[in-house]
Amino acid sequence: MKSVAVIQARTNSSRLPGKVLLPVKGMPLVVLAARRAANTGRQVIVATSLETTDDFLAETLQIHGISSYRGSLDNTLERFVTALEDYNDETPVFRLTADNVLPDGALLDEIEQYFIEHHLDYLCCNGEKSGLPYGMSVELTRLRHLRDAAASTTCKYDQEHVTPYIRRKFGEYYFEKYRELSKGHFRCTVDCLDDYLAIQQLFSDIDDPIQVSAFTLVEQLGSCSYQPWQRIPARKLVLGTAQLGMQYGIANLSGKPDQSMAEQLIKSAIANGAAFIDTARAYGNSEEVIGTALRSGWEGRSRVVTKLSPLTHCPVDGNQEVIDAFVDASIYASCSSLRMQRLDVLMLHRASHMTDWNGAVWKRLLQHKAKATFNALGVSVQSPAELELALASPEVGFIQMPFNVLDWRWDQMIPKIIAQKQQRDVVIHVRSALLQGLLPSKSCEYWQKANAAQPENIMEWLAEQTQNNGKTSIADFCLSFVKSFSWVDGLVIGMETLDQLAENVKILCGDDFSQQEIASILATRPKLEENSLNPSCWR
């Protein structure tokens, strides 16, 4: 039974309108995708809509001799089934999309062979479970299952995404032949302008874009813009952006990056695994910097954690109505600056605001959460007492706390953190893992500003531990120590240059310390006074 590949395509994509018609090596993206899928002789049909916005797309396909079908814009499932009405029920049907041009006939042949040999009803290939980049997306099922889905479901999500009904019925089975390639955190789809430029770059030196192997292209992806630098993603990286909005950090010599550099940092961090970006109303114009960087089609690739205004100008005797106004103003200013209708995560900048003004701030935030003004609520804490308060509040889903290799203040709280994480969903982000850049510093002047009485002893201990634990730098040692704790979900790390980002990504992708190594480190660490551990006390 011969298989057929159906490529869904439309012109009215929201992030990059008309992307399927953008040229790569002299041919529209949709044409390149179709010809690559057909390069071993497979029948390929491009399924687009009857909307007038797709008239030129249909004409383009006809000019290039690509078989096409036009049907419902919103009911893509129906479009697939109707396009294949002359085919047998048992026909294996590939689902492809026009914004993914890397899949070729040879890959489809391998997937089809595996599908038939294992008597499967559904098989997919994409992302980390397949070891292949996001954008090497292929789904394979039988036509009868598509027909059954079209007749059985009225769910708009099922109709738009074609295969959810089938996946629920038969389960998701992944093609894992290339899992050991470990390229699942790479990206080769075209969703925004940066993606398109990367695909143009990828094909720029290719003589035959139709016949070149998908795996040749995958191996060359690393040379393209905004691709990972390491074999694995830096999953615990949280990009701190105080430096992007103002001068920040005791050892910051580079200064505040301009918008261009800030965008490169933000996008490169996301490409390397940063699932969160951390900011605040109080971080200068960092929210505006982030909003501008993400508006080019990067929205949703990383969650933004912002913090409520410190409310320093809010009157101490303000009533609920006054407090509501201050809270609302901060939230809506964040939405405007970040260009978001709904915030991902909103945190209190000061844990005391949970109880200040007779709990008026917290009450207003809970009202906003009930209205879905933001998806999650969190608290930034400074002390063990504040952490205990946050852990005791079931509404708190995110906690940010300072923690580093010299910070002994949290020793008694760690078991409580672990216990709470076992009982409910609470994400713990750690800041000051380098104590605002102080720990890697070899300047006695900086240490003295931080109230350290005997900085030479501390610097010597840090250097010894770095060497004894086989780390390349003090920063490597300090970050590796913090990330080795299982209860730490993310490290908020600020940086001003791509070199700093690359070094931090490399460290976070390195091996964790064992429990024995952590115990050995803790057994010898010097005592740093609390007024040195709290930057607000520095001179």
Claim to verify: residue 428 and residue 372 sit in the same structural domain: yes
Q: Does 20 share its domain with 68?
A: yes
Q: Which two tokens stand for residue 520?
A: 């050995």
Read off the pLDDT of residues 440-475 as tens digits, 9 standing for 90 and up. 998 888 999 999 888 899 999 999 999 999 999 999
Kindly state whether residues 343 and 284 are assigned to the same domain: yes
Q: Are residues 305 and 173 in the same domain?
A: no
pLDDT of residue 253: 53
pLDDT of residue 112: 98
* Residue-wise pLDDT tens digits, 152-176: 999 999 999 999 999 999 999 999 9
Instruction: Single out the residue in 201, 223, 245 at which a domain terminates.
Output: 223
Phi, psi of 323 (to 5 degrees): -60, -45
What's residue 1's pLDDT? 62
The answer to whether residue 105 sits within a structural domain is yes
Single residue among 166, 196, 223 that ends a domain in this structure: 223
pLDDT at 246: 85
CATH (domain of 413): 3.20.20.100
The answer on 169 and 248 residing in a single domain is: no
Q: Is residue 253 part of a domain?
A: yes
- Picking from 223, 248, 264, the residue at the C-terminal end of a domain is 223
Whether 521 is in a domain gets the answer no
Residues 219 and 303 in one domain: no
Total number of domains in the chain:
2
61 burial class (0-12, 13-18, 19+ CB within 10 angstroms)?
A: buried
Rg (CA), the chain: 27
Q: Is 198 helix (H, G, I), strand (E, B) or coil?
A: helix
263 and 213 belong to one structural domain: no
**Structure tokens, 356:** 């200040």
- Name the token pair of 396: 């708190």
DSSP-assigned letters across all residues of 111-130:
HHHHHHHTT-SEEEE-STTT
| Contact call for residues 202 and 188 (beta carbons, < 8 A) | yes
User: In terms of domains, do 413 and 271 share one?
Assistant: yes
Residue 402 lies in a domain: yes
| The pLDDT of residue 186 | 96
Query: Is 522 domain-assigned?
Result: no
Tell whether 189 and 310 lie within a shared domain. Answer: no
Residue 249: the pLDDT is 55
Tell me whether residue 229 is in a domain: no
Q: Residue 323: which H helix or E strand, with range?
A: helix 320-338
Residues 264 and 371 in one domain: yes
pTM of the predicted model, to two decimals? 0.92
Residues 270 and 185 occupy one common structural domain: no
Asked if the structure places residue 526 within a domain, the reply is: no
Q: What is the three-state SS of 390-407?
A: HHCCCCCCEEEEECCCCC
Query: What CA–CA distance (Å, rounded) separates 234 from 474?
Result: 19
- Is residue 174 within 8 A of residue 111, CB to CB? The reply is no
Residues 353 and 499 in one domain: yes
- CATH number, domain with residue 200: 3.90.550.10
d(CA 2, CA 16): 35
Residue 187 tokens, joined: 């990206």
Beta partners for residue 71, in sequence order: 49
Show pLDDT as tens, one digit a residue, over the chain (539 residues): 699 999 999 998 888 999 999 999 999 999 999 999 999 999 999 999 999 999 999 999 999 999 999 999 999 999 999 999 999 999 999 999 999 999 999 999 999 999 999 999 999 999 889 999 999 999 999 999 999 999 999 999 999 999 999 999 999 999 999 999 999 999 999 999 999 999 999 999 999 999 999 999 999 999 999 999 999 999 999 999 999 998 765 555 567 899 999 999 999 999 999 999 999 999 999 999 999 999 999 999 999 999 999 999 999 999 999 999 999 999 999 999 999 999 999 999 999 999 999 999 999 999 999 999 999 999 999 999 999 999 999 999 999 999 999 999 999 999 999 999 999 999 999 999 999 889 999 888 899 999 988 889 999 999 999 999 999 999 999 999 999 999 999 999 999 999 999 999 999 999 999 999 999 999 999 988 889 898 889 98
Q: Residue 311's domain spans which residues?
A: 237-439+486-511
Q: What percent of the chain has pLDDT over 90?
A: 91
Taking the C-alpha atoms of residue 235 and residue 229, their distance in angstroms, rounded to an integer, is 13
In the numeric block, the tokens 């990504």 are attached to: 505
CA–CA dist 492, 511 (Å, integer): 19
User: Residue 228 falls within a domain, yes or no?
Assistant: no
